[in-house]
Amino acid sequence: MDANRRPDTMERITTPELAKAFIDEQIAAVKAQVGDKKVLLALSGGVDSSVVAALLIKAIGKNLVCVHVNHGLLRKGEPEQVIEVFRNQMDANLIYVDAVDRFLDKLAGVAEPERKRKIIGEEFIRVFEEEARKLSGVDFLAQGTIYPDILESGPVKAHHNVGGLPEDIHFEGLVEPIKLLFKDEVRVVGKELGLPDNMVYRQPFPGPGLGVRCTGAITRDRLELVRESDAILREEFDKAGLAGKVWQYFTIVPDCKSVGVKDNLRTVENFVVIRAVNTRDAMSATIEEIPYPVLNTIVKRIITEVPGVNRVLYDLTPKPTGTIEWE
């Protein structure tokens, strides 16, 4: 039997009861696979790695070593939430790596989008390998692979994925407890494992993170504008009940300035672009009609609360012709 093929008889996990049965089954399987050996996991805080972490904590407790790499391109509050949920609430063995300067220094002056992606992906593996090497006696590597990753693996996925396997560290085996699940099932399992809703129902977030939304060469200042404006957008979407209705929503800060006016003086500052799209498969996307008062509140908050921004735009372009991200 091909372990990477979902059996036709496998029931779709749609209820807490089915999720519980799946969790119990996987706990037993993981225990049988790894015994009392140690397992390493790169925990980004995304849905898939968070579900794997919560599941493995239940199965093997402190023998799971989670590594959370902060590459400086995460959304506001994300590293803090990973620490709070996994270290404080679930008592996980969590290593937090502050690699912000390291990534941003490597990215300084690099404007070409694919080069930026490559640097982020490679640096991530390097940081992760370094942490793995510091730990003695880690035998297994856990991964948040899900079924669409297996079905879609190929050049497109490779281009879009950040991370991947550390190349020159030998592990006895891979632990991939959710590799036969679809995304909706992963969420049901995550909920049953007690993960917070904002982790379980999170919108998709690209591996290179805010790096592709701070277009051109990333600067710390502009990155801060992306992070702060994105936090305001998410807060207002949550308040307006739009978070579950819009597939992906975020802000972009292009590498370009516009003229504005403040206190009767001309300003030359950055502008923020709002993008909010719906899609089935990310191959094409439509634009959501966001109620005008919500947009108005977002604009007002961004121009008053985020210093260095004098203008906010709403990108109304569907895909095609515009991709979802700006680079």
Query: Using CB under 6 A as the criterion, which residues of the chain lie in contact with ligand XMP when the complex forms?
Result: 117, 160-162, 204, 206-208, 212, 248, 282, 319, 323-325
Angle at the Cα of 108 (from 107 to 112), degrees rounded to 5?
A: 65
Assess contact for 68 and 44: CB atoms under 8 A.
yes
Q: Which amino acid is at 147?
A: Y
Place of tokens 């129902």: 201
Tokens matching residue 250: 């975020």
Helix (H) or strand (E) holding 60: helix 47-60
Which phi and psi (to 5°) does residue 120 adopt? -60, -45
Which residues, including other chains, have CB under 8 Å from residue 285's CB and lie 6 or more apart? Answer: 247, 248, 277, 278, 279, 318, 319, 324
Of 40 and 324, which CB lies nearer to ligand XMP in the complex structure? 324
